[in-house]
Amino acid sequence: MPKDPDGILRRFFGRVFGSAPERRAKRSSVRRSIVYFVCAFLCLTGCVEDGSDKRPGRPPPLVLVSRPTVKDVAVEVRAPVDLRPREQADLMSKQVGYLSTVLVDRGDPVKKGQLLALVRPSELPDQLQVAKGQLQQAEAALSQAKLNRARIGSLAPTGVVSTQELQQSATALLQAEAQESAARAQLQAVAVRIGETRLDAPFDGVVMQRRFDAGALVGPQNGAILTVGRVDVLRLFVPVREQESALVSVGQTVVVEVDALPGQSWLGQVARLSPGFDPLTRTLDAEVHLANSDGKLRPGMYGRARIQVAIHKQSLTVPESAVQLSGGQRYLFVVEGTKVQRRAITIGVDGGTFVEVLTGINADDQLVVAGTDALADGSTVRTQVGTAPWQATPTAKPGTSPAPH
């Protein structure tokens, strides 16, 4: 055992931790470091707090504004339409037979009464011969009955023939006349059926469809052989809603545009109105006739028709994109100073790209026409004046003066 264990421990801790003065110096250095760190933290925190009020916030949203446009608004009945021939007929054979010849093809012009196709019936020629033979027999029987009636009639005054024989001869003559009439009617019926194998044009027009070629077996069960239509005048039907039906009358002008010929329009007139409403769509069909002498329009084209029924003079109109819909009510945002006010409006004519406003705004109001998605009543905004963002003219920001030009 060492004689001085306490001395050994003091020397050991002195080597590891230093002497007592050194330990006091280290503790003082640590205290000074902590104080410096706390002071620096407090200074930094104070600087941040002092500058927080000076940091710029998020700017108000930028919106495009414009005044309402004052103009005459046409009140129109609009509807999609498809063009149809003025007249159209499907030509078919009522008799079963083989198509002998087809003299026209699709697109060929035809005249009324022109022969278009012939059908060769399979049984009608034999029936015609039978009907002719029956008629000849009936005519011979009638001739004999007339001779008998004349002979008996001449002998009756002399008493050679009885009254009964005289009556029988008269009856035989009537029967012969009836049989002859029936045979003649039968022959005419067969002749009519043979005539139905001839297909003639019912009116002036063009061949729109050809469905069979020569040699095909045709008949009532096969449908139409040819379709003929009149296309120098086309017709279309404009469905009119019940609320607008009182505004439409015969003779009104109709403007028609078709998708196949953009930028062009054609004028027509209301030719007639349907006597009643369609029970399914609750609409009234207005038939419109459209001249097509140059042949630019074709049946089947799809387009839009507008019937002008009235004009609203000097009406206020706004872009359709400016109108907001919420809960069945339409609104506009009106700029007042640096804030917007949401106003309920009543609309009139919907022109597609614009809307007529009947109540809710004035002609000198500044309306938000773009950038309304993030707005609410009372929102602060920055405004630009123009018809489109790339055409906009900057105006004064809230609390600033206008920028020099």
Could you read off the pLDDT of 338-348 as tens digits, one per residue? 888 888 888 88
Query: For strand 329-336 and strand 366-370, is the pairing parallel, antiparallel, or unpaired?
Result: antiparallel
Torsion sign over Cα 274, 275, 279, 281: positive
375 pLDDT above the threshold of 60: yes
Contacts of residue 208, defined as CB under 8 A and 6 or more positions apart, other chains included, come to 85, 88, 106, 227, 228, 229, 299
CA-based nearest residue to 191, from 133, 132, 134? 132
CATH 2.40.30.170 matches 79-86+230-311: yes
Query: How far is it, in rounded angstroms, from Cα 148 to Cα 172?
Result: 9
**Could you name the CATH architecture of 63-72+313-394?**
Beta Barrel (2.40)
**pLDDT class of 402 with cuts at 50, 70, 90:** very low
Q: What is the mean pLDDT of residues 41-69?
A: 65
Categorize the per-residue pLDDT at 264 as very low, low, confident or very high, splitting at 50, 70 and 90.
very high
Domain range summary for the chain, segments of one domain joined by +? 5-52, 63-72+313-394, 79-86+230-311, 93-210
Q: Give the CA dihedral 334, 58, 401, 403, nearest 10 degrees.
A: -100
Residues pairing with 315 in the sheet: 71
Supply the DSSP symbol for 298. -
Residues in the chain: 405
Q: What is the pLDDT of residue 283?
A: 93
pLDDT tens track for 58-82: 788 888 888 888 888 888 888 999 9
Span 242-254, pLDDT tens digits: 888 888 999 999 9
Comparing 252 with 385, which gets the higher pLDDT? 252
What is the pTM (predicted TM-score) of this model?
A: 0.58
Mean pLDDT of 185-208: 85
Q: 135-182: per-residue pLDDT in tens?
A: 888 888 888 888 888 877 777 777 777 777 778 888 888 888 888 888
Asked whether residue 271 carries a pLDDT value surpassing 80, the answer given is yes
Angle formed by the axes of helices 124-155 and 163-195, nearest 10°: 160
d(CA 65, CA 136): 97
Looking at the chain, the whole-number percentage of residues with pLDDT higher than 70 is 80
| Whole-number percent of the chain with pLDDT over 90 | 29
The mean pLDDT value for 384-398 works out to 51
Average pLDDT for residues 84-96, to the nearest whole number? 91
pLDDT at 165: 78
Q: What average pLDDT score do residues 232-237 get?
A: 94
Q: pLDDT at residue 233 above 90?
A: yes
Long-range contacts of 325-332 (CB under 8 A, 24+ apart): 332/357, 332/360, 332/361, 332/367, 332/368
Name the residue among 288, 321, 327 with its Cα closest to residue 305.
288
Highest mean pLDDT among 37-41, 125-129, 309-313: 309-313
